[in-house]
Amino acid sequence: MFELQDAFARKFQYLRLSVTDVCNFKCQYCLPDGYMPDGRKSFLTLDEIRRLARAFAAMGTSKVRITGGEPSLRKDFTQIIETLAGTPGIEKVAMTTNGYRMAKHAADWRQAGLTAINVSVDSLDPRMFHQITGQNRFHEVMAGIDAAFVAGFEQVKVNAVLMRGLNDGDLDRFLAWIKDNPIQLRFIELMQTGEMDELFQRHHVRGAVIKAALLQQGWQQKLRAHNDGPAEVFWHADYRGEIGLIMPYAKDFCASCNRLRVSSLGKLHLCLFGDYGVDLRDLLTDDDQCGTLQQRLRDALADKKATHFLHEGHTGMTPHLASIGG
């Protein structure tokens, strides 16, 4: 088997697959003006997703995370889960969602083969949640988290972009929430996207500050599994839940990189902070193209850089987070 490996001996077992860039939320840090429809776009079909997953799995990918936009807006979303879960070699099928459809569909997704859910909850204050997301759906999302546990998910990961002056005061409330609940609370450091520099300057909270506070309070860091994402995860004997920190500005953030991205239009992105994508879609039209597709993936990985250039203000594709599944 030819593995997906770059020039720095990093192996890529984790694929983030965007299936749509449509989203019904208007989060301040992603789509503050809401989604702008483009009728010319044609997102990856179920057959194209099947061929893509087969090629990646044959090269060592064992985990696929379905992202968007909001992936559950696709009418065939349950079929997408089934397709990925049925691909030989794929052991984990996860999704990242804004959660508004979880209460109704969590059980169906679980039955289809979904193994993990990440849901965005940027505040436990319904009013602040509304302010950040542009949607008054806090109680629906929380009901969705409850439904996920009822459906059999042992843990739910909750993503929160912590922002100074908005939801940074929620930290104690978040900690109280996970004390008796098996939730991995993941604080994502606000990123500078180039289009929202003022937002970044006003609200950025350094993840390192939170990490130092956790260690002082007795939290201990866990070892990462080979196909885990970039979060540094911490546990505490007094808590059922865990805390994850995603800190793209941290030293050596890229050293353990194990994930690649494919956009909803079929472009391979070697890094969220890269400048370009490699088109794969012309090699997803026929099952017999698998070998050629795998060769294109290997060739593309030869250009993957050792690190991002975020510290230098180079934001790459981050202004297009919704289209590449940031």
Pick out the residues of the known binding site for [4Fe-4S] cluster.
23, 27, 30, 254, 257, 271
For residue 96, what are the contacts with CB-CB under 8 A and spacing of at least 6? 65, 66, 67, 68, 71, 118, 119, 120, 159, 325
Write the CA distances from 244 to 173, 183, 224, integer angstroms.
Answer: 16, 10, 11
For residue 45, give every residue at least 6 positions away whose Cβ sits within 8 Å of its Cβ, in sequence order, or none. none
Residues near 309 by beta carbon (within 8 Å), at least 6 away in sequence: 273, 316
Nearest-angstrom CA–CA distance, 172 and 185: 12
Q: Token pair of 216, please?
A: 């002082």
Annotated binding site: 16, 23, 27, 29-30, 65, 69, 96, 120, 157, 191, 254, 257, 259-261, 271
Q: How far apart are CA 253 and CA 255, in angstroms?
A: 6
Enumerate the known binding-site residues for GTP. 16, 65, 96, 157, 259-261
- DSSP-derived secondary structure letter, 163: B
Contact 158, 188 (CB under 8 A): no
Give binding residues for S-adenosyl-L-methionine as ranges: 29, 69, 120, 191
Token digits of residue 261: 């991205």
Question: In the structure encoding, which two tokens stand for residue 147, read together?
Answer: 């439904």
Helices of type H across the chain: 46-57, 77-85, 102-112, 126-133, 138-150, 171-178, 197-203, 207-216, 290-301, 321-324
Which structure tokens are listed for 225? 């599994």
Q: Is 242 helix (H, G, I), strand (E, B) or coil?
A: strand
**Under 8 Å between Cβ of 250 and 192:** no
The pairing of strands 242-246 and 232-235 is antiparallel
